[in-house]
């Protein structure tokens, strides 16, 4: 069965410094993976997706993620954090029934 | 246009009330979803409609009743809810159910409080 683990419940960075949100997945086949972001009291917005094309995926707002099969990881990065990046981030894997398996979420805190 | 709209934004209802949540998309998507999200948790799938037919019901109590009147609309009828049903209810849509190639687009949600 597919599963996803977000390794940090909270990540705190200073504005202008790099962001790294970690995600590991478990899948018996080549998975499809997503990162979604949820700002306070808002719905979910798709940041980027991996569907077995390029292993480095670029998303919106300067975010990117690299699929590493050998490490079963799909970490989300951004070179320079902005105050508006403060939000909850979810890593998601698609299961064999085409439904979304969600990580527990990582809260990104940006310090001024 | 990648917008999913939901009404109302907020809803407060008593345990004996009947109310409905509404969701609309005009992207031509043929799959629509209802999720429930409790605070500080990821969304939990409730129902999936594919081509206007109920495809998945994740063992949701019968006090929640979904309806898909046409390919653009999705309703969630609520009756005799419990306080523990208070949550953010999210609607989503995707081109089709099958495959990770079809990402889901989410609406802003309805914040439901049951008193």
* Contact: A42, B108; criterion CB under 8 Å: yes
- In eight-state DSSP terms, residue B41 is S
Report the pLDDT averaged over residues B64-68.
96
Written as six digits, the tokens of A70 are 């050998």
Question: What span, in angstroms and rounded, lies between the C-alpha atoms of B44 and B55?
Answer: 16
Give chain B's radius of gyration (CA, Å). Answer: 13
With b for 16 or more beta-carbon neighbours within 10 A and e for fewer, the B24-33 pattern comes to bbeeebbbbb
Query: Which pLDDT value is given to residue A71?
Result: 93
Give CA separation, B103 vs A13, A34, B6, B19, in Å.
Answer: 29, 8, 19, 29
Query: Which pLDDT value is given to residue B20?
Result: 97
**pLDDT tens per residue, range A13-62:** 999 999 999 999 998 777 889 999 999 888 899 999 998 778 899 999 99
Q: pLDDT band for position A4 (50/70/90)?
A: very high
Q: Read out DSSP for B49-63? A: EETTEEEEE-S--TT
Question: What span, in angstroms and rounded, lies between the C-alpha atoms of A76 and A4?
Answer: 14
Written as six digits, the tokens of A40 are 């306070």
| Largest distance between two CA atoms of chain A | 43
Q: Taking CA atoms, what residue in B is nearest to A53?
A: B101
* Contact: B107, A42; criterion CB under 8 Å: no
Nearest to B98 among A31, A90, A98 (CB): A98
* Contact: A51, B100; criterion CB under 8 Å: yes
Examine the pLDDT at A91 and tell me if it is beyond 90: yes
């Amino acid at each position: 069965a597919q599963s996803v683990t977000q390794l940090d419940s909270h990540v705190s960075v200073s504005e202008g410094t790099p962001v790294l949100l970690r995600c590991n997945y478990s899948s018996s086949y080549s998975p499809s993976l997503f990162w979604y972001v949820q700002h306070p009291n808002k719905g979910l917005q798709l940041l980027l997706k991996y569907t077995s094309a390029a292993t480095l995926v670029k998303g919106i707002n300067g975010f990117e993620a690299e699929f590493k099969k050998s490490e079963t990881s799909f970490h989300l990065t951004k070179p320079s954090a902005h105050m508006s990046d403060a939000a909850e981030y979810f890593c998601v894997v698609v299961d064999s029934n085409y439904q979304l398996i969600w990580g527990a979420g990582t809260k990104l805190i940006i310090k001024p | 246009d990648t917008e999913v709209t939901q009404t109302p934004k907020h809803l407060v209802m008593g345990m004996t009330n009947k109310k409905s949540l509404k969701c609309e998309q005009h992207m031509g998507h043929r799959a629509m979803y209802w999720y429930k999200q409790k605070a500080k948790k990821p969304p939990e799938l409730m129902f999936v409609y594919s081509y206007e037919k109920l495809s998945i019901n994740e063992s949701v109590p019968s006090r929640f009743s979904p309806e898909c009147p046409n390919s653009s609309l999705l309703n969630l009828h609520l009756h005799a809810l419990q306080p523990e049903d208070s949550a953010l209810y999210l609607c989503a849509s995707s081109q089709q159910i099958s495959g990770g190639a079809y990402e889901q687009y989410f609406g802003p949600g309805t914040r439901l409080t049951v008193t």
